[in-house]
Amino acid sequence: MINERSRLKSCLTCLVATILISFIFLANPAFSYDESCIHCGMNKAQFGHSWVIIEHNDGTFEGVCSVHCAAIDMALHTDKGTKSITVGDYNSKKQIDVDKAYWVIGGDKMGVMTANAKWAFETKQAADKFMSEHGGRPANFDEVMKAAFEDMYADTLMIQKKRQMMKMKKQK
């Protein structure tokens, strides 16, 4: 009887722990697959290949669609600092550490929220293959963020123009 009660208590404890952990991950927008970017509204399901998750020093997370929106978020939250940042691998959509990623800037593939694409790859071979097929140049994360800030004004004008054109199409 005591062994049964002990086993039941252990099972219930595991069940409660599993539910709590699941709730934490599912309730957090940065980890939710159907979540949208907090800055532009783009859907994670469509942009997993460029999705960035920023963990701030205060323990909060932000999920954004691209390096462009990550730059916006970092500029808006300078008081929080960043603890870690991951990005979707271009091919697998798997989240990888931005400092371990092999980055490609540019090429003939349109970027997400930018005319000057910034793509992350888990392996050097994948980045090299992309560059041989689509162009671009290798970079590290610091260079990627510097390029994102340098491109911000032109990209913002491009986004505004696209949204204005979409709005006009809807009105017809």
The verdict on 54 and 121 lying in the same domain is yes
What is the torsional sign of CA 100, 105, 110, 112? Answer: positive
Q: What is the mean pLDDT of residues 106-113?
A: 95
Same domain? For 98 and 42 the reply is: yes
Per the prediction, the chain carries an average pLDDT of 86
Domain match, 80 and 159 both:
yes
| Range(s) of the domain holding residue 7 | 1-32
Q: Do 108 and 79 fall within a single domain? A: yes
Question: What is the reported pTM?
Answer: 0.76
Looking at the structure, do residues 28 and 96 belong to the same domain, yes or no?
A: no
| Cβ within 8 Å of residue 91, ≥6 positions away | 49, 121, 122, 126
Residues 5 and 56 in one domain: no
Residues 51 and 8 in one domain: no
Cβ neighbours of 1 (radius 10 Å): 5
Same domain, 10 and 73: no
Contacts of 109 (CB under 8 A, 6+ apart): 117, 119, 134
User: Structural domain tally of the chain?
Assistant: 2
Residue 68 has pLDDT above 80, yes or no: yes
Pair 91, 160 in one domain: yes
Do 52 and 15 share a domain, yes or no? no
The pLDDT of residue 23 is above 90: no
Residues 7 and 57 in one domain: no
Q: What is the pLDDT of residue 31?
A: 47
Q: Which residue has the higher pLDDT, 92 or 13?
A: 92
pLDDT at 10: 63
